[in-house]
């Protein structure tokens, strides 16, 4: 069975085509690394899978059904979720806030929902983080809680939008390993977006690389090649392998590292605000 099927799907935002006529099948149970330059449509694709953005044309099926908003079988970790440094709520309340029956200020959970929160915390090894305020936790600890939150409802598909941003390489490795474990233990399909391929290399079954409105899905050896990437970037790309790491180069620039730097600049600059507002605008047009 396929977890996700796209047939001639075109996704557009504000009259702009982001992805054009994409057809692909993502088999159930696979770990897919979603890569591509800034603005290539990684988040937009996830939002379409969540049913938050209807394709302009084509059909998009998720877990055997047309994409629909609020699909409980999907766990989502949005990109903006990393910014929680000022939050005073506890780890428990943060995870519980997405469980059935919880309202901020009125945390009345059924015993079953409480058990589900406890189980989600246990699955990511975050029981000890439950009583601590979010603002006090390290980036890696917060990622664990975000994953626990995404696991509420026992999803069959996890959409994780850039969970490695602002983590050091060791913490990045821990997050990837944890997601890999969850994929295997619970037979979950994972879409994991990132700016750099290397932290994901040993974990992913396939890579989905986006660029220039197009997409390439396949094993790393088939997608991370000069011809495929040159087409997606719209300029000549070299692929260099050094000691088990892969570098995607445009002339002397490492394009993935450039995108990463840009993203860090983003977090403090105007462009990030614009980006966030663009999303908020787009979102509000659906509510
Ligand atoms: N409402 C909107 N109208 C027009 N364009 C938009 C709108 N919202 C987002 N975009 C644009 O859509 C493109 C795809 O954005 P998306 O967030 O999906 O990219 P991404 O691959 O996730 O990027 P990043 O790596 O920077 O997070 C971007 O160029 C963005 O500026």
Q: Quick check: 269 pLDDT over 50? A: no
| Cα 240 to ligand 1 centre (Å) | 28
pLDDT band at 285 (very low <50, low <70, confident <90, very high): very low
Ordered DSSP codes for 96-114:
HTTSTT-BTTB----HHHH
pLDDT band at 67 (very low <50, low <70, confident <90, very high): very high
pLDDT tens per residue, range 207-250? 999 999 999 999 999 999 999 999 999 999 999 999 889 999 98
The residue whose two tokens read 């994972």 is 190
Residue with more model confidence, 100 or 104: 100
The residue whose two tokens read 């901020």 is 104
Handedness of CA 39, 5, 193, 236 (dihedral sign): negative
Residue with more model confidence, 107 or 52: 52
Taking CA atoms, 160 is separated from 59, 146, 243, 248, 251, in Å, by: 22, 9, 28, 23, 31
Tokens representing residue 110 in the block: 């059924």
**Residue 240 forms beta bridges with which residues?**
247
Q: Quick check: 40 pLDDT over 90? A: yes
pLDDT on residue 271: 37
| Cα 72 to ligand 1 centre (Å) | 25
Q: Is residue 170 in contact with ligand 1, taking CB distance under 6 Å?
A: no
Its ipTM equals 0.96
Nearest atom in ligand 1 to 162's CA: 27
Nearest atom in ligand 1 to 45's CA: 18
Q: Is residue 1 in contact with ligand 1, taking CB distance under 6 Å?
A: no
Neighbour count for residue 98 (Cβ, 10 Å):
17
Write the DSSP symbol of residue 57. E
| Cα 226 to ligand 1 centre (Å) | 25
**Domains of the chain (ranges, CATH numbers):** 1-73+156-253 (3.40.50.300), 84-154 (no CATH)
Q: Is residue 206 in contact with ligand 1, taking CB distance under 6 Å?
A: no
pLDDT tens per residue, range 151-196? 998 999 999 999 998 889 999 999 999 999 999 999 999 999 999 9
């Amino acid at each position: 069975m396929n977890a996700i099927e796209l047939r001639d799907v075109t996704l557009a935002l504000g009259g702009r085509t982001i992805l054009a006529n994409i057809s692909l099948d993502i088999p159930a149970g696979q770990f897919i690394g979603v890569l591509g330059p800034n603005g290539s449509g990684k988040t937009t694709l996830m939002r379409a899978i969540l049913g938050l953005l209807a394709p302009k044309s084509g059909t998009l099926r998720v877990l055997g059904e047309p994409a629909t908003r609020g699909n409980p079988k999907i766990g989502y970790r949005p990109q903006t979720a990393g910014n929680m440094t000022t939050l005073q709520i506890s780890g428990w309340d943060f995870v519980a806030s997405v469980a059935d029956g919880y309202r901020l200020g009125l945390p009345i959970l059924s015993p079953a929902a409480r058990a589900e929160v406890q189980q989600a915390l246990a699955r990511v090894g975050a029981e000890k983080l439950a009583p601590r305020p979010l603002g006090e936790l390290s980036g890696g600890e917060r990622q664990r809680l975000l994953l626990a939150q995404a696991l509420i409802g026992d999803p069959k598909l996890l959409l994780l939008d850039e969970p490695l941003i602002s983590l050091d390489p060791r913490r990045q490795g821990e997050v990837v390993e944890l997601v890999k474990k969850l994929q295997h233990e619970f037979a979950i399909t994972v879409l994991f977006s990132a700016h750099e391929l290397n932290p994901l290399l040993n974990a992913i079954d396939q890579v989905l690389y986006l660029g220039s409105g197009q997409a390439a899905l396949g094993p790393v050896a088939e997608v991370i090649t000069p011809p495929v990437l040159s087409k997606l970037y719209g300029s000549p790309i070299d692929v260099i392998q050094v000691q088990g790491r892969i570098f995607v180069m445009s002339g002397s620039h490492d394009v993935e590292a450039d995108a990463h730097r840009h993203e860090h600049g983003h977090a403090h600059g105007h462009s990030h605000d614009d980006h966030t507002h663009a999303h908020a605008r787009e979102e509000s047009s659906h509510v």
